[in-house]
Each structure stands twice: as C-alpha cells, then as structure tokens.
Structure 1
C-alpha cells in the first residue's frame, strides 16, 4: 500500500531535518524521527497548498529545559510548552521544537497514546509554520480539520474525536 503522506505526482517533497537533542524519545515513541517526518509531510499534504521547490523544515526533538528557554526567549513565557513553531522565509518553511517530557505528561493526562499525541503535535507545529493559527474559532476549526486529515493519512487517531 502506498504511503499516503507522500506528495502527489508533480510536487516536490520538502526536505525535513529531524534533530534528536534529548534522551528519552526512543523510549516514548518507536522511531520518533520517522514518525515526525511522516506527520510533517502529512500535514503539508493535508494543507493542500504546494510548498516551494527546495522547501525545508527542521524539527528539534528536545526536552522541557530547551522548550522553557525557547518559550522564554521568543514568547516571554518562562515555562516549558509542548511544541513551538518558528515560521521561515521562502523555501525555509521554518523550525519546530517539541518536548519529550511534556508530550509524555499530556498524553498520560489526556488518556492518549504518546505516539498519537506526538504525531498530532508535529502536524500542529507544521501547520503553524505554514500559516495556520487557532486564535479565532473559524481558524481553529480549519486547523483541527486539517490536523484530522493529516492524522488519517498516517493512520493515527483523530485527535479531536471525543471518546
């Protein structure tokens, strides 16, 4: 069966660099680099807007300490967060950073599998670098639908379906 996160014919696949900078990722998620790549590609495809040729995205698999520092430096919030997105310019789509400890805590608190929560947050961060936001209700609904499509493409549960 084909990988449904692959780009359609005629579109270039963006370069996605995954940097694992914190221990614990492989204990939380099997093959986190592969899943991050698949979730980001699925979000790009679900977005439905072609990315520029030569597009690149960087994903940093980090920890609470790193996310706390980034959150403080860029958002004046001195606490860790689950995922941060930094939009780029031109073919540089941007950068995403995600915390292993926060993903673990949130998944446990929400009764979700860490793998599913991780994939969702990668897709969420990817959509942010592509210009999505969720400050207004209409934007939030669009972003949620796009995230749900992305998760279906990689056979992960719909993060917005209430069980």
Structure 2
C-alpha cells in the first residue's frame, strides 16, 4: 500500500511515499495504521522543517515478536524481541534527500505490552515509536546522553504537535 503523506496541519503533500505491510501480529486495521504513519511522519517532518524537493520512499512493516526477534538477532546480535527497529537505506545528510529513506519495523506483542504497562493508548505508543524510528532513518541516535537528550526533545515536540503527551515523562 503506498500513499503520499500529508502534513497534519496543511493540505500540501509531504515528500514521502509510504509502503505499508502488515506481516504478522494483532494490529489495528491497515487504514488506521496508515493514518498513524502519516501523522507521525508528517509531525516529525514539520518539526524538523526539512525542505525537500523530491519524493522519498519509506517502508513500514508491522510484524510480531518472533519476526522482530530474528531481525534483532541477525542485525544487532541481540536475541530478543524489541519494540521498533530502523534500517536506513542511505546515510542521511541534511543537504540532500535520499530516494529511499529505509525501513521501520514494529513488533505487535512488545508494543502492546509496553502500552499497557505504561497505561497509555496503543495509538499513542505506536505513533511515538514511528516518530522514533523515523528519526533514526534521518540520522538521529541515542548512544550518548547528549544524543538521547536531543533526539527525545525532537520526539516530544513532534508528538506535542499531535496532542500526544510526553512519552518520557
């Protein structure tokens, strides 16, 4: 499924084409997931004020814990499920926009369990993880305290645009 994203606050199309795949797991309907992806990416792009002139592609995969565990073991050497993984297609530079941003993969059971443990709506948690994963594709990271503070600040501001409370509070 592919669609051009629209900024939640504007009618002009944003320069990201989404390929969405529900591979496994219990997820909301695809049209709802696409809406969440559009809002998350639109809010992140609006917050970052990136001025792109051409379209890029973004792949989002909604899977289960078994599949993300395989990916996490194969790519990161961590034999356990995680909530979200990001796979950048290119090293992102602020000066140029790559034709393919990369892939974001989310795991159903872990995401649902975390949302329940944190007493937050599933939709809010999915949106937060989409923003988080998208920022990784754009070169953001949280390996150091300074990087984490910067990335989390961008996440908070992007989510605030969608009236989603601070996920780190």
- Whether these two folds match at TM > 0.5 is yes
Could you tell me which runs of 5 or more consecutive residues in structure 1 were left unpaired when the two chains were aligned.
none
1:150 partnered with 2:153: no
Q: Is the 8 A contact 2:21 2:61 kept in 1?
A: yes
Distance in structure 2 (CA, Å) of the matches to 1:6 and 1:130? 21
Other-structure match for 2:27: 25
- Cα distance change of structure 1 residues 135 and 96 upon mapping to structure 2, 3 Å threshold: same
Q: Is the 8 A contact 2:43 2:162 kept in 1?
A: yes
Other-structure match for 1:82: 83
1:129 deviates by 0.4
Distance in structure 2 (CA, Å) of the matches to 1:7 and 1:13? 13
Distance in structure 1 (CA, Å) of the matches to 2:20 and 2:38? 7
Structure 1 stretches of 4+ moved >3 Å: 3-9
Q: Is the 8 A contact 2:7 2:39 kept in 1?
A: no
1:23 deviates by 3.7
Distance in structure 2 (CA, Å) of the matches to 1:130 and 1:109? 29
1:34 partnered with 2:35: yes
SS of the residue 1:26 aligns to: coil
- Cα distance change of structure 1 residues 85 and 51 upon mapping to structure 2, 3 Å threshold: farther
1:103-122 to structure 2, matched below 5 A, reads 103-122=111-130
Structure 1 or 2: more strand by fraction: 2
Q: Deviations over 1:81-111 (max 9, x none)?
A: 0000001122211110001110011111122
Aligned length: 157
Distance in structure 2 (CA, Å) of the matches to 1:36 and 1:154? 12
SS of the residue 1:16 aligns to: strand
1:93 partnered with 2:101: yes
- Cα distance change of structure 1 residues 99 and 52 upon mapping to structure 2, 3 Å threshold: farther
Could you tell me which runs of 5 or more consecutive residues in structure 2 were left unpaired when the two chains were aligned.
1-5, 91-97
Other-structure match for 2:133: 125
Q: CA RMSD in A?
A: 2.4
Query: What is the TM-score with the length of structure 1 in the denominator?
Result: 0.85
Distance in structure 1 (CA, Å) of the matches to 2:11 and 2:143? 31
